[in-house]
A and B are shown apart, each in its own frame.
Chain A
């Protein structure tokens, strides 16, 4: 297995982990919160809200802006 495939597999595992945590969070049987709950809690303060939105803006800057 090449290093390229290993790296991509790692990102795929990350994506699967996020989806799995989200699915687990939406089922009432686990104590894992859903992603929407995580962000709602983080963003209930101005620091959290602005910080998350700046991180989101940075993603756009990173991929599209000079």
Chain B
């Protein structure tokens, strides 16, 4: 009994020691990734502002404010700032995780403990004896070890620094390392800060189309929603509640993770990026020119109609509003499926 108890205690001590050892680099890396002071936090936030989508949200914020909707603009600004922070922190965590992994290799920082399941095999060879597998060079062996440590360090960081709901296991940075093979862009790549895959989704994404029954229910629900909300006047409280409720729900689902698993398309050519960016910029500038051509920023003009002005006749009738809502919901569904 005594031996058994002692053995059990020793076993617990070893486990505790392993856990402590495992937690040490996570704590070290998390502390290194956490910004200190206001200036550093501002820098992290600004580094996330390089994301194109954040810039687009900022442009929407600007247009909204000058259109006479400062509260909507403030809401957009808050979201854009939160996304800046999120992107900046994830890029920073990935960078620190890589530094931790490299420092662990050179022995200048706490090494990230390998998985007890197969530590020697990762370092040496598949048999765990330090020998290399057939065709495996010293470089590939070292690279495997570095990637393993990097993923483990990043996994620890994701647990600590990412948003609630992020499950342990796969991580921001390990996701980046996983996707970099197909997308050609990884952490710290040319795409800028925050170009790191998000944390583990809150649910397993589907790999196929949704079931027919779900599609039917979605179509029926969308139709009812559009008819009910479209029956109310624009800018009324019931219409506001309906649109805000659905919009918030969809954004929350998007925050939780993708609902459908898709392969990341390869990196786009310069021609492709230029084509779509040109259209986006042209559309924004044309709308801005029309907006500034109005007699007053809040008064529509026949001579310089904006998109809102052009769609006013359609949205003046319940059926037109319902049609527009169906298109809006369909677009949201299509985006969620990306």
Residues of A within 8 A of B (CB): 2-4, 7-8, 10-11, 14, 17-18, 21, 24-25, 30-33, 35-66
* B199:A46 contact, CB within 8 angstroms: yes
Which residues of B lie under 8 Å from residue A44 when comparing CB positions?
A: 179, 183, 197, 258, 264
Quick check: is B56 within 8 A (CB to CB) of the other chain?
A: yes
Which residues of B lie under 8 Å from residue A4 when comparing CB positions?
A: 302-305
Contacts A47-B194, A63-B234 given; does A55 touch B272 at CB 8 Å: no
Contacts A21-B276, A40-B338, A47-B83 given; does A3 touch B304 at CB 8 Å: yes
* B51:A47 contact, CB within 8 angstroms: yes
* A50:B254 contact, CB within 8 angstroms: yes
Give the docked Cα–Cα distance between A42 and B325 (Å): 24
B259-284 vs A, Cβ < 8 Å mask (1 yes, 0 no): 00010110011011001100100110
* A50:B251 contact, CB within 8 angstroms: yes
Which residues of A lie under 8 Å from residue B83 when comparing CB positions?
A: 47, 50-51
Residues of B within 8 A of A (CB): 48, 51-54, 56-57, 60, 64, 69, 72, 76, 79-80, 83, 86-87, 90, 179, 183, 194-199, 229, 234-237, 239-240, 242-244, 246-248, 250-251, 254-255, 257-258, 262, 264-265, 268-269, 271-272, 275-276, 279, 282-283, 286, 290, 293, 302-305, 307-308, 310-311, 315, 321, 324-325, 328, 331-332, 335-336, 338
* B258:A43 contact, CB within 8 angstroms: yes
Contact partner of A37 (CB less than 8 A), chosen from B72, B251, B265, B271, is B265
Chain A's nearest CB lies how many Å from the CB of B158?
A: 12
By beta carbon, the residue of chain B nearest A48 is B53
* B243:A18 contact, CB within 8 angstroms: no
By beta carbon, the residue of chain B nearest A10 is B286
Contact partner of A42 (CB less than 8 A), chosen from B53, B76, B86, B315, is B53
Contact partner of B335 (CB less than 8 A), chosen from A3, A25, A53, is A53
Q: Which of B234, B242, B275, B325 has the most CB of A within 10 A?
A: B275
Which residues of A lie under 8 Å from residue B251 when comparing CB positions?
A: 50, 53-54, 57
Which residues of A lie under 8 Å from residue B53 when comparing CB positions?
A: 42, 47-48, 51-52, 55
Give the docked Cα–Cα distance between A10 and B282 (Å): 9
Query: Helix, strand, loop or mixed for chain A's interface?
Result: helix
Contact partner of B328 (CB less than 8 A), chosen from A40, A46, A59, is A59
* B195:A45 contact, CB within 8 angstroms: yes
Which residues of A lie under 8 Å from residue B247 when comparing CB positions?
A: 56-58, 60-61
* B254:A64 contact, CB within 8 angstroms: no
Which residues of A lie under 8 Å from residue B246 when comparing CB positions?
A: 60
Give the docked Cα–Cα distance between A31 and B247 (Å): 34
* B262:A53 contact, CB within 8 angstroms: no
* A11:B307 contact, CB within 8 angstroms: yes
Give the docked Cα–Cα distance between A65 and B302 (Å): 23
By beta carbon, the residue of chain B nearest A65 is B240
Which residues of A lie under 8 Å from residue B304 when comparing CB positions?
A: 3-4, 7
Which residues of B lie under 8 Å from residue A46 when comparing CB positions?
A: 86, 90, 198-199, 255, 257
Q: Which of B198, B243, B338 has the most CB of A within 10 A?
A: B338
Q: Which of B234, B237, B276, B311 has the most CB of A within 10 A?
A: B276
* A51:B282 contact, CB within 8 angstroms: no
Chain A's nearest CB lies how many Å from the CB of B180?
A: 11
Which residues of B lie under 8 Å from residue A42 when comparing CB positions?
A: 52-53
Chain B's nearest CB lies how many Å from the CB of A33?
A: 5
Which residues of B lie under 8 Å from residue A33 when comparing CB positions?
A: 265, 268, 272, 276
